[in-house]
Amino acid sequence: MPELTGLPALPTLADAAVYRILDANLDRAREGLRIIEEWCRFGLNNAGQTEQLKHLRQTLAQWHAAELRLCRDTPGDPGTALTHPQEAERTSVMTVLQANFCRVQEALRALEEYGKLYRDDLAAGSKAMRYQVYALESEILGGHRVQRLRQGLTYLVTSPSDRLLPIVEAALRGGIALVQYRDKHTDDHLRLELAQQLKDLCHRYGALFLINDRVDLALAVEADGVHLGQTDLPIAAARQLLGSQRIIGRSTTNPDEMQRAIAEGADYIGVGPVYSTPTKPDKPAAGLDYVRYAAEHATVPWYAIGGINTENLTEVLQAGAERVAVVRAILEAENPTLIAQYFAAQTNHRRSFHSVAAPIQ
């Protein structure tokens, strides 16, 4: 029988396995990029990020040669039947994006390593692309949190309670935009468990979740950030640990502390205590004058805090506050949802009034 010529040589069994790995990870990376791209296009309306993600997808498609696809064996792939409970649950846009960034990064790492056995340009290109995706992750996820911070007008700071979870959920139903878990005395293993539950609850309602003081707990539960007091870690140190994606807030009680916190890179500041409060028994009230100062000079989002309730909210807003943080007014309320709705309605009305009344620049 004459020898056939001009046909491509069949891959060895080892080559075929490598081709299947490359094929699967090219698909995985392109799928993950498309999910992120859709949010940048329709959720953020960001043309630059959308174009960058589209370019990455198209580059991967150019490497997805027919010889790789021909080695695909979906019926014989044992991985198609494997799953994990976390894959079936997405609590927010943030968790969707985070999961798909991880998927893309893992796929690109596999392409980089196995690509060295196939094409040098695929391996090198996948490595370069992985670092681009890391940068995009910081930009998009960090920007997403900052955007929600700027939009969030109501902030609940917790204190220990046997009914903390149902109270927080009731407040979230009422429109609370941020929740800070504050507990300085409970054992760490209990704090860790409760922090995880609170984070999941907040993300289910689209709210940001921050932890008071403890950068380690924030990292452990993947919180959206931390809130630091004047004697806690320097903001630069916290930023080094948390990275650029997460939010860092700082308590301030006077103009000097405000300016220092802003200069150090705080994403937002607390302004207060406006009134005397048992939450801060060692802090004298900063008063409405400090609220007025913040309204004129703060260059980052800021929350009036300290003794604010339904009876004095109006004068706090009239002093120039747009955002407020509360503790007892909600935690001790008979109907936390109703009180949260009141705070949300009043602050939204205040912002809408300022938006309409602001002169055209």
The DSSP string of 194-232 is HHHHHHHHHHHTT-EEEEES-HHHHHHHT-SEEEE-TTS
The DSSP string of 31-92 is HHHHHHHHIIIIIS--HHHHHHHHHHHHHHHHH--HHHHTT--STT-GGGG---GGGG---S
Measured CA to CA, the distance from residue 146 to residue 267 in angstroms comes to 8
**Phi–psi pair at 248, nearest 5 degrees:** -125, 125
328 carries an active-site annotation? no
Please report how the helices 120-151 and 13-38 are oriented relative to each other, as an axis angle in degrees rounded to 10. 20
182 carries an active-site annotation? yes
Instruction: Indicate the helix (H) or strand (E) that contains 269.
Output: strand 268-271
Count of residues for the chain? 361
Sign of CA dihedral 97, 99, 104, 108: positive
Instruction: State both tokens at 240.
Output: 């080094």
- Choosing from 103, 239, 251, 350, the catalytic residue is 251
Instruction: State both tokens at 199.
Output: 């984070």
Sign of CA dihedral 42, 48, 54, 57: negative
Within 10 angstroms of residue 53's Cβ, the number of other Cβ atoms is 26
Instruction: Identify which of 272, 328, 349 has the alpha carbon closest to the alpha carbon of residue 303.
Output: 272
145 carries an active-site annotation? no
- Choosing from 182, 191, 239, 250, the catalytic residue is 182
Instruction: Identify which of 91, 108, 132 has the alpha carbon closest to the alpha carbon of residue 221.
Output: 91
Measured CA to CA, the distance from residue 159 to residue 168 in angstroms comes to 11
Query: Contact, 211 vs 180, CB < 8 A?
Result: yes
**Phi–psi pair at 48, nearest 5 degrees:** -65, -50
Active site residues: 182, 251, 280
